[in-house]
Amino acid sequence: MLSFVQERQSILEIPATLLEGAEPQPASLRKLAADIAIRAPRPTDLDKRLAWLVAAIGLDRVELAILSVMARREIFTSWRELLDLLPIRSSNPNVAVLAAATGHPLAEIDRRLAPGASLLRARLLRDDRDGEFDACNLLKRLARSHVRSADEMMAWLAPSAPVSTLSYEDFDHLGSRRDLALRLVAEGRPISILLHGEPGTGKTEFARLLADRCGRRATFVGLADEDGKEPDRRERLAHLALLRTLCVASGDRLLVVDEADDVLSLNRRRDASKQWLHRAIEAPVVPTVWILNDARELGRTLLRRISLAIRFDLPPLRVRERIVARQAERLGLPLSQGPLRRLAAVPASPAQLTIGLDVAKCGGGISDSSDAIASVIEAMGGKARPERVPDAHYDPRWSCADVDLTGLAGRLRAATDRSWNVLLSGPSGTGKTAYARHLAHELGLDVEECRSADLLGPYIGETEGKIAAAFARAEARGALLLIDEADSFLFRREAGQRSWETGLVNEMLRQMEDRRSPFIATTNMADQLDPAAQRRFTFRIGFSALDPVRARGLFHDHFGTEWPARYGCIDGLVPSDFALVARRARLMDENDPIRLVDWLTEEAHARGEGAERRIGFHLPTGSTYPSQRRPLTANARSDA
């Protein structure tokens, strides 16, 4: 021990006179220690950092002394060697070693290191479960840091997140749960809110927005390590524990745990007990937002302790348009209404849209931006099919139905009760889906659109789960749920050959009975629907082929000219025939009404309707009558 002190005389700033005559005897060493103790050492930068930490989390002088010894042991080799000189054998400091090193009574040290004590609860020290203790990485990093004030230390330990780039209105599709989350956070109650859903759907931005609107500071759990790398689970748990202690006194923080499955999942490495995780959720001390992609990762025992859970899906088209417009303006990227709507129609998350606009800014156009977004969606296993928007040419006057479609839209728009179901039945192309989208637009509702392929699953119970999820999403968004080809789920149960077939019909009927948001189903085979399903529809509307008046009106609406007087109307035409021929006419730069009638006739014939005519369409040749025009053969296409 005497040699230890003599070798470090300059470091310890001990006058040479104190060492004169010192001998390696207990009495001499005690006198030397007493003389050194009289000279109060100047506080070092490390002492200041530890004092700021102790003051911030409300520790006492005994706990400060323990932290001081443990921090110095990690930083200075001499301190480790000094503790090794004590006549107490241990790999890491135990209560006896710390009592000897700090000069505090053994009982006081033991009380500060008991299970659940502040130093352990804040995860500054770790109990090795064998009576010994070790400094956690967070304490080691703080000891080695270069913070120069208490405020700087708090900014390092509990950094405030940047302000959200989205607006409150961008989350209208979350419905009432958005407002409930805001009220809960504003009250400052120590609750846990779960945000879950696909990556990039705005969960992190919403957490920041909650803090901004409530006058709080969002603090994200998990400091990067000393090399700037991502913290592991143990470090994130330690930071969470420390933040809960640090932020409880300030009263203006919102803790955000992103990628929370890494912290909460018990399937991963056990750095925390199940009981600790349960308490972290049900008694979070300060308002806490947990963010993850798949809520099923947590299990029921953790989920039932959550105060509020909000599922995030792709925002509706109108929200994506607003996000694209705002981001384009921020980047100084001029966008007209057409390109803006085309980009927003891609079923992409806000994060993907933002990245896509960055691609456009780097020299690519909107088409490159859309292609880049689509490539990522496809890599994730999704479909990049642009979302359908209401057809600008659609007018319910030109649909042939057994009710007044315009009048029905007006009645439903004026109604306060939105818990209605509508069945639209009729042949393909008669305008059922177009009217459903038009109705949603007239009511100011977003459309949650599903086809049978979107809902059918290969495993037993999967289809029922997807059906329930579709109804739940529509209700949460306050959207109109549109299911095309609903006969796949509502067929007569006596026709089912397997139990699961009856099960999915039963699930569909249950959802129709319980739902509180509007629902529209379309089918080509209304006569094959289960009678119980027929009874559950508030309105059953039949669509049919166009009558002559509507066919002529739709012809003028699409082509800007009258139906040729010399030709009678074609039986069996439907609105989709006009839409297809209009696209063909634009491609071929065709505006001859006789030729357009010829193409419409061929479309009717292809579906087994109308008078027999040759299949195919024709190149302009200047002839007058359709019968004189030759079909577009392979050679003709090549010539074109």
Q: Which residue has the higher pLDDT, 156 or 365?
A: 156
- In a domain? residue 80: yes
Region 330-357: mean pLDDT is: 79
Region 389-400: mean pLDDT is: 74
For position 213, which CATH number holds?
Answer: 3.40.50.300
Alpha-carbon distance of 180 to 195, in angstroms, equals 13
- Show which of 542, 566, 582 is a domain's final residue: 542
pLDDT for the residue numbered 20 = 75
Region 42-47: mean pLDDT is: 86
pLDDT for the residue numbered 135 = 92
Region 475-500: mean pLDDT is: 74
Count the alpha carbons within 13 Å of 198 in the hemisphere toward its beta carbon.
Answer: 15
Strands (E), 301-405: 308-312, 400-401
Does 347 lie in the same domain as 285? no
Query: Could you report the per-residue pLDDT of 424-478, keeping only the tens digit for each?
Result: 999 988 999 999 999 988 888 888 888 877 887 777 778 888 888 888 888 877 7
Does 14 lie in the same domain as 62? no
Q: Which residue has the higher pLDDT, 268 or 607?
A: 607
Q: Name the strands in the sheet holding 192-197, side by side, starting at the edge strand that comes first in the sequence.
A: 217-220, 253-257, 288-292, 192-197, 308-312
Domain count across the chain? 6
Lowest mean pLDDT among 22-31, 298-307, 531-540, 589-598: 22-31
pLDDT at 340 over 90: no
Lowest mean pLDDT among 362-371, 524-533, 621-630: 621-630
Does 588 lie in the same domain as 453? no
Contact 484, 522 (CB under 8 A): yes
Confidence label for 290 from pLDDT (cuts 50, 70 and 90): very high
Confidence label for 405 from pLDDT (cuts 50, 70 and 90): very high
Q: Which residue has the higher pLDDT, 37 or 538?
A: 538
Does 283 lie in the same domain as 197? yes
- In a domain? residue 403: yes
At residue 218's C-alpha, the angle toward residues 349 and 154, to 5°, is: 140
Of all residues in the chain, the percent with pLDDT exceeding 90 is: 28
Alpha-carbon distance of 482 to 474, in angstroms, equals 9
Region 3-22: mean pLDDT is: 71
pLDDT for the residue numbered 48 = 92
pLDDT for the residue numbered 629 = 36
- Show which of 542, 572, 597 is a domain's final residue: 542
For position 131, which CATH number holds?
Answer: 1.10.10
Confidence label for 95 from pLDDT (cuts 50, 70 and 90): very high
Provide the β-strand partners of residue 603.
none
Query: Could you report the per-residue pLDDT of 110-130, keeping only the tens digit for each?
Result: 999 998 899 998 889 999 888
Confidence label for 93 from pLDDT (cuts 50, 70 and 90): very high
pLDDT for the residue numbered 475 = 82
- In a domain? residue 627: no
Burial letters 398-415, b for 16+ CB under 10 A, else e: bbbbeeebeebbeebeee
Query: Could you report the per-residue pLDDT of 522-581, keeping only the tens digit for each?
Result: 998 888 888 888 888 899 999 999 999 999 988 998 898 999 888 888 888 999 999 899
Does 260 lie in the same domain as 162? yes
Task: Indicate the SS3 state at residue 92.
Answer: coil
Does 213 lie in the same domain as 293? yes
Q: What is the pTM of this model?
A: 0.67
- Show which of 263, 295, 312 is a domain's final residue: 312
- In a domain? residue 611: no
pLDDT for the residue numbered 244 = 87
For residue 21, what are the domain limits?
1-38
Task: Indicate the SS3 state at residue 542.
Answer: strand
Does 172 lie in the same domain as 269? yes
- In a domain? residue 528: yes
Does 595 lie in the same domain as 519? no
pLDDT for the residue numbered 609 = 65
Does 249 lie in the same domain as 173? yes
pLDDT at 383 over 70: no
Provide the β-strand partners of residue 127.
133
pLDDT at 638 over 70: no
Alpha-carbon distance of 162 to 173, in angstroms, equals 23
Does 371 lie in the same domain as 401? no
- In a domain? residue 237: yes
pLDDT at 633 over 50: no
Region 615-631: mean pLDDT is: 39
Of all residues in the chain, the percent with pLDDT exceeding 70 is: 85
Q: Which residue has the higher pLDDT, 154 or 636?
A: 154
Region 172-195: mean pLDDT is: 90
Confidence label for 84 from pLDDT (cuts 50, 70 and 90): confident
pLDDT for the residue numbered 471 = 87
Cα separations in angstroms, 520 against 220, 385, 443, 534: 42, 22, 13, 13
- In a domain? residue 622: no
Confidence label for 627 from pLDDT (cuts 50, 70 and 90): very low
* Residue indicated by tokens 């979107």: 454
Cα separations in angstroms, 75 against 3, 226, 626: 21, 14, 93
Confidence label for 622 from pLDDT (cuts 50, 70 and 90): very low
Confidence label for 38 from pLDDT (cuts 50, 70 and 90): low
Region 303-330: mean pLDDT is: 86
Region 210-223: mean pLDDT is: 90
Region 507-527: mean pLDDT is: 85
Does 33 lie in the same domain as 63? no
Confidence label for 377 from pLDDT (cuts 50, 70 and 90): low
Query: Could you report the per-residue pLDDT of 291-310, keeping only the tens digit for each?
Result: 998 888 888 888 899 999 99
Ramachandran bin of 21, using left for φ above 0, alpha for ψ from -120 to 50, beta for the remaining angles: left
pLDDT at 266 over 60: no
Mean residue pLDDT of the chain comes to 82
Q: Which residue has the higher pLDDT, 225 or 503?
A: 503
- In a domain? residue 634: no
Does 305 lie in the same domain as 356? no
Range picked from 28-32, 259-263, 471-475, 541-545 for highest mean pLDDT? 541-545
Region 55-75: mean pLDDT is: 93
Cα separations in angstroms, 492 against 8, 452, 497, 531: 92, 16, 11, 7
